[in-house]
Amino acid sequence: MAKTGIFYGPEKGSVDRVAHMVAKEFGEGNADLISVKDKDPKLLENYDKIIIGVSTVGMTNWNSEHIRNEWDSFSAGIDKVNLKGKDVAIFCLGDQVTYPEHFVDALGWMYDKLKPLGANIVGFVDPDDYDFTDSEGLRNGKFVGLPVDEDTEPEKTEERVKNWVAMLKNDFGF
């Protein structure tokens, strides 16, 4: 089985917890967990199978005065990374109750950043199991990755992760 790189941030929160769940589902030794904090985006080139874990942090993302986080720094250098021929999947944390009109917008932001670099985006998810009004994470009626709502539906996270990783194993050719 090919090595998979799980690049996530921020640390010590819901994205971190879900990244560890994803790694566990791939099985011990089959996925490297890499926090993006203080990392060089060129590390992405070391993997043919990549999973990106981000969060849509709420109003700070729609306010130009938001505090920079590790994804701001990491993604600033992604444009110099060669992702041609690499399978990439994205998961995103969001809150569909508090921010129903911006649910997991970061899925779409990452998709729009990675797709032009040649990434083959996989792991699209049907939105039927979610209750929201709008999302920049939708393309052609599907989420461009796995939405996770640890704020209002934490009881669904484990099953959603298991189902998504099973799909990714197929998409990644495992």
Tens place of pLDDT per residue across the chain (174 aa) = 458 999 998 888 889 999 999 999 998 888 999 999 888 999 999 999 999 999 876 444 444 444 446 677 787 788 889 999 999 999 999 999 888 888 999 899 999 999 999 999 999 999 999 999 999 999 999 999 999 999 999 999 999 999 999 999 998 877
So what's the pLDDT on residue 2?
A: 57
Q: From CA 39, how far away is CA 46, in angstroms rounded?
A: 13
So what's the pLDDT on residue 69?
A: 62
Domain residue spans of the chain: 4-171
The pTM assigned to this predicted structure is 0.90
Q: From CA 61, how far away is CA 158, in angstroms rounded?
A: 27
Residues, the chain, total? Answer: 174
Q: DSSP letters of 76-93?
A: HTGGGS--TT-EEEEEEE
Show Cβ contacts of residue 103 under 8 Å, excluding neighbours closer than 6 positions.
Answer: 56, 94, 95, 96, 130, 132, 133, 134, 135, 137, 147, 149
Class of the CATH domain delimited by 4-171 = alpha beta
CA distances from 118 to 77, 85, 95, 121 (A): 15, 7, 30, 9
So what's the pLDDT on residue 70?
A: 65
